Amino acid sequence: MRRMTLQGSLSHDAYCAQLLEETTKFREILRDADLSATVPTCPDWTLADLARHVGGAHRWAGTIVATRSATAVDVADVPEGDGPGGNDAAALDAWLAAGVEQTVAALREAGPDTGVWTWSPVQRTGFWARRMTHETVIHRADAALTAGAAFDVPPEVAADCLEEWLQLCALPLFTARLAEPGGQLFGPGRTIHLHATDTPPELNAEWLLDLTGDRLVHRRAHEKAAVALRGPLTDLLRVVYRRLPADSDGVEVLGERALLERWLERASFQ
């Protein structure tokens, strides 16, 4: 059986720095936004709810790391995990800043290889540095869409964020959902090519998703597939995470659109 590593392309220090940077950019969007506005890509939440979700996730992961917990931590046991209620922008901003600083301090002190509980096969602190970075990237996209703000991500971070999601989709936890009866996702000839059109060759920002077996197998490659999704890397990332429609300007679908749509419907992650 293939060993699951969930290997990232950035260093532990780079993930920690990027987590701080992404949270700063997230906070900047919220400061000038209507926190009561509904988030179109998370319609059960307002922007204030989104902020509490992000900050709560930071503090939850930070608590796991700081306590070296070998089991899941109940969210009720996370200090100040709920955040301030209501739409007080200053209070939410201060809570987000303090929480991410605590989490990054814990991650840096622990290093990437300390054993802790995670919901993945990789039971190490490095998982949380990478996961919280990309969690924040995607929810910053939600906030930017809601507030009408610009959204961009460093190419190496966007590529790693997309790569991580494909790695997660190959875990048994997600494979079971992808293979639910009636999904018609896996089968002969079912392949998807993701192609970033605005990155240098050395970033290797192309992926082949092979669904011809009973689980996802993916690789970084330029190969012909049943359907191809082409566009700027940040747009590809948002389409894959269902933060942007596949028929948006600048994004091109070539081939079996129905297969791509089935994949996007099944491989969803909030």
Domain edges within the chain: 12-151, 157-266
Identity of residue 39: V
Q: Single out the residue of 79, 175, 69 nearest to residue 128, CA to CA.
A: 69
pLDDT tens-digit readout, 107-160: 999 999 999 999 999 999 999 999 999 999 999 999 999 999 999 999 999 999
Task: Please say whether the structural domain 12-151 has been given the CATH code 3.30.1490.
Answer: no
Residue 258: other Cβ atoms inside 10 A: 11
> pLDDT for 77-101, tens place per residue?
999 999 999 999 999 999 999 999 9
Evaluate if residue 3 carries a pLDDT over 60: no
Distances (CA, A) of 181 to 43, 53, 141, 177, 184: 27, 32, 32, 9, 7
Token digits of residue 140: 């910053």
Of 32 and 47, more confident: 47
* CATH T-level topology, domain 157-266: Nonspecific Lipid-transfer Protein; Chain A (3.30.1050)
Check if the beta carbon of residue 188 is closer than 8 Å to that of residue 213: no
Assign 175 a pLDDT band (cuts: 50, 70, 90): confident
Q: Which two tokens stand for residue 12?
A: 């532990």
Q: Which of the pair, 178 or 200, is modelled with greater confidence?
A: 200
What percent of the chain clears pLDDT 70, i.e. is strictly above it?
Answer: 96
